Amino acid sequence: MPHVNAAVALQICVLLSALPAQYFISQRYGTDSAQRIQMTERIIASWSSFTQSYLSLDAWADRLKLWLSNTRNWYYGEKETKIGDSEAETHSYFAESTHVRSPKPGHIQFSVGQVIVHKRFGYSGVIVGWDEKAKAPAEWLQHKYPPAKQV
C-alpha cells in the first residue's frame, strides 16, 4: 500500500472536488461551453488572487508591518513623528533643499535626473540634486575636497 502524505492527500482532494465544481458550473451557468469556460477562468483568477492575498507569507508580512506601523503611530501620536522630522532635517545632506529652486541658475551645469559618465574613471551616475553651497558635514568635505576647492 502506498504511503499517503499531506501533498498527495491535497492532490486527491483537489481532483475529487473538480467534478462537483464542474457540475455546479454547468448547472448554474448553462450548457454553453463558452460561458462555462469564461466562468471557469473567472474562478481560477479569483482563486489565484485569493492565494496571493491570503496564503502568501509576503502578504502576511506586509500586513503585519502595516499594522505595527499604525499601532506605533497610534501609541506615540504625532509628537514622535514631528521629532523624527526635525531630526531628519538636522541630518539631511546633499541637495535636499526645503524650497523649489526653479529655474536653475545659469552657472549650474547639470539637471536633476541627468545621467553622467565620469571622464577619468568611467563610472556612471544620476544627478539627484544640486546645491550652490555644499550641505554636508565638515569632516566629509575636508576628506573629499582639497582646501583650495572648499569655499
Give, in order, the Cα–Cα distances in Å from 60 to each of 47, 54, 57, 67. Answer: 17, 7, 5, 10
Which residue stretches of the chain have pLDDT < 70?
A: 1, 31, 78-99, 150-151
CA 145, 146, 149, 151 torsion: positive or negative? positive
**Is residue 2 assigned to a domain?**
yes
pLDDT score for 64: 92
- pTM, to two decimals: 0.33
Domain count, the chain: 1
- Owner of C-alpha cell 503585519: 64
Whether 133 maps to a domain, the answer reads no
C-alpha cell at 42: 473567472
* Residue 110: inside a domain: no
Position 81 scores a pLDDT of: 46
Q: Is residue 8 part of a domain?
A: yes
Residue 34, domain extent = 1-55
